[in-house]
Structure 1
Amino acid sequence: MSSDLDEARCDLIELRAHEATAVIAPGIGGSVASFSWNHMGEAIHWLRPATQQALLARDGSGIGCFPLVPYSNRVRNGRFAFAGREIRLPSAPLTDPHYEHGHGLRYPWSVTHLTPSSVVLTYRHKADTWPWDYEAAQEISLTSDVLTIRLSLRNLSDQPMPAGLGLHPYFPANASTRLKADVAAMWATDAEILPTTIAPLRADANPTAGLNIARCDLDNVFTGWSRRATIAWPDQGRSLDIEAQAPLDFLVLYTPPCKTYFCAEPVSNATDAFNLAARGRDDTGLFVLDPGEIRTTAVRFAPHFTQLCQSSLSKRGKRLS
């Protein structure tokens, strides 16, 4: 067992800048295994850190953050139609009926550039049940204790490709954790957690007013997101600002009850966007890449101590343009 874990750890890349450390797992879906600060000899985790079990199993869903390409979230029954063609993704009726989250977390990524504080990862997909060639890239960097992930998607096929992209970070949660984000509305869902209609914000599910994560049970897409959110851990005197670029105009919140984590996912498209768009909706966030076209975005995770003061932990990077 220990040799297996040592082998898994050998595949990890450690980035450092000032007091920050980010551990990257290229072979586990191009994921961020952890993002932490060293505060008085203690690791302060801003993302949920990978467990030994997740590293051993090479499970991208069990670590800190993974990329969403070539779309975000679920596709109903793994099927949709585009440009007169029916696409059938390899969904599994019992374990993954809606082929969730695309390819990014399922395959290893290649390291194409590495410095002490940054790494560039690429994933190239050859057409299969997803009948388009494409390349995705991530530039993951630490600057002044801030983590930035720049994500791009390029259509390498000779036909237009429907697409979306985003990030799926997991954050630590306890009884006092709160999240605030300006949004306009939310997608209501059916029993399979697939969207049915856009609905007004409920009093118990209103990120604009602020949410106590421990009191929520959400797995919903929020629309009209300002691309800014703040997570606070008041009992620990710290907070984390999330800043995203276009086209990440949707925020997915997943707050499972009685768990020590939750997700706040900056994404470009609503869940099941392909099928919703095929039925005539124009508000799904779905975009189409022409042959050779590239779409790029970025997300910045900027930590703060709100009560504790230490100059080495108060450096701030430039805001995303």
Structure 2
Amino acid sequence: MSNEEITLTAGDAEVTVSPGNGGRVAGLRVGGLELLRQGQKFGCFPMVPWCGRIRDGRFRDGAAVHQMPLNSPPHAIHGTTRNGPWRTARAAGNEAVLTFDLGDPWPYPGRVTQIAELAEDSLTLTMSVETYGSSFPAQIGWHPWFNRNLGGEDVRLDFTAAWQEERGEDHLPTGRRIEPRPGPWDDCFGMPGGVDVTLTWPGQLELKVTSREEWAVVYDEQEAAVCVEPQTGPPNGLNTAPRLVTPLEPLEASTTWTWRRL
């Protein structure tokens, strides 16, 4: 199938998926309200095979050290799939399945599969990474840009974290866990019971971002949008908390956004 845009519908919810633009969810409209920031770089893009920054773009796998392109100097950021075209494996009604074959500059052959499932009051995104050969470390995450304002009051963020990763001057976790601090944030939080963050646009809409994963980066330093990013490990996690993709065991993760009108 081609990589043309896909529209999913359920009730008064409509999702636009852009396989050709990094496999991102380009739009989510609920009752005509667009919840995601619009534009080529925005919407909600998959972060894979790593999330956030890798220090100096380098990660170690056993004795081998691999160098990724420094697309956010001095670091590499957000994986290799958000700017490339994905392939539509299947799309019908309220579900789309996309795939991306990993290759250069990523040093290992593998495949990423992403499924978007829309219900009347929720969107579930599921991703898996499989290897075609040797095992390798990887991460999965999503980077949604939610509009700060939907025409009324600014969004409010509410969550309880067990800890915050202390952030160094290089924007990477230092390895120390600290008490969660007030925002604004470009920070990673630990939620051992699973990610659970509520965004409330007063008088309009409440949306919950949940995931079984225990890490979320919250970024609200931009005027136009706020980001709540569930992921399988912290920034620089390929080095500090690697999750291994093996021929027998792919890496899988999912996130669900559930909303209700206020």
Normalised TM-score (structure 2): 0.91
1:90-101 map, 5 Å: 90-92=69-71, 95-101=72-78
Find the counterpart in structure 2 of residue 264 from structure 1: 228
Matched, 1:229 2:229: no
**Counterpart of 2:16 in structure 1: which amino acid?**
V
Q: In the aligned structure 1, how far is the partner of 2:145 from the partner of 2:158?
A: 16
Deviation at 1:241, TM superposition (A): 1.2
Find the counterpart in structure 2 of residue 242 from structure 1: 209
Find the counterpart in structure 2 of residue 294 from structure 1: 250
Deviation at 1:97, TM superposition (A): 2.8
Find the counterpart in structure 1 of residue 106 from structure 2: 130
Deviations 1:37-83 (A, max 9, x none): 12xxxx212322x23xx2xxxxxxx2210111111111111112211
Q: In the aligned structure 2, how far is the partner of 1:287 from the partner of 1:180?
A: 28
Find the counterpart in structure 2 of residue 74 from structure 1: 53
SS of the aligned residue for 1:104 comes to coil
Find the counterpart in structure 2 of residue 193 from structure 1: 171
Q: In the aligned structure 2, how far is the partner of 1:112 from the partner of 1:161?
A: 25
Identity among equivalent positions (%) equals 27
Deviations 1:75-95 (A, max 9, x none): 111112211001111225xx5
Q: What is the total number of aligned residue pairs between the two structures?
A: 256
**Counterpart of 1:161 in structure 2: which amino acid?**
F
Structure number with the higher helix fraction is: 1
Q: In the aligned structure 2, how far is the partner of 1:140 from the partner of 1:200?
A: 35
Q: In the aligned structure 2, how far is the partner of 1:198 from the partner of 1:179?
A: 24
Deviation at 1:275, TM superposition (A): 2.7
Find the counterpart in structure 2 of residue 220 from structure 1: 187
Which of 164, 171, 186 is matched with 2:139 structurally?
164
Assess if the C-alpha contact under 8 Å between 2:244 and 2:251 holds in 1. no
Q: In the aligned structure 1, how far is the partner of 2:227 from the partner of 2:81?
A: 17
Matched, 1:46 2:35: yes
Deviation at 1:16, TM superposition (A): 1.0
Gaps of 5+ in 2: none
Assess if the C-alpha contact under 8 Å between 1:46 and 1:240 holds in 2. no
SS of the aligned residue for 2:53 comes to coil
Deviations 1:183-218 (A, max 9, x none): 11111122221111333224x42xxxxxxxxxx321
**Counterpart of 2:187 in structure 1: which amino acid?**
N
SS of the aligned residue for 2:171 comes to coil
Gaps of 5+ in 1: 1-9, 55-61, 206-215, 277-283, 307-321
Greater mean alpha carbon deviation, residues 101-110 or residues 142-151: 142-151
Structure number with the higher strand fraction is: 2
C-alpha RMSD of matched pairs (Å): 1.8
Deviation at 1:133, TM superposition (A): 0.8
Q: In the aligned structure 2, how far is the partner of 1:295 from the partner of 1:273?
A: 14
Assess if the C-alpha contact under 8 Å between 2:232 and 2:253 holds in 1. no
Assess if the C-alpha contact under 8 Å between 1:34 and 1:63 holds in 2. no
Deviations 1:127-151 (A, max 9, x none): x342211111111121123211111
**Counterpart of 1:270 in structure 2: which amino acid?**
P
Q: In the aligned structure 2, how far is the partner of 1:135 from the partner of 1:233?
A: 37
**Counterpart of 2:148 in structure 1: which amino acid?**
A
Change (3 A) 1:90 1:200: closer
SS of the aligned residue for 1:151 comes to strand
SS of the aligned residue for 1:16 comes to strand
Deviations 1:76-122 (A, max 9, x none): 11112211001111225xx5431101112021100001102111000
Deviation at 1:292, TM superposition (A): 4.5
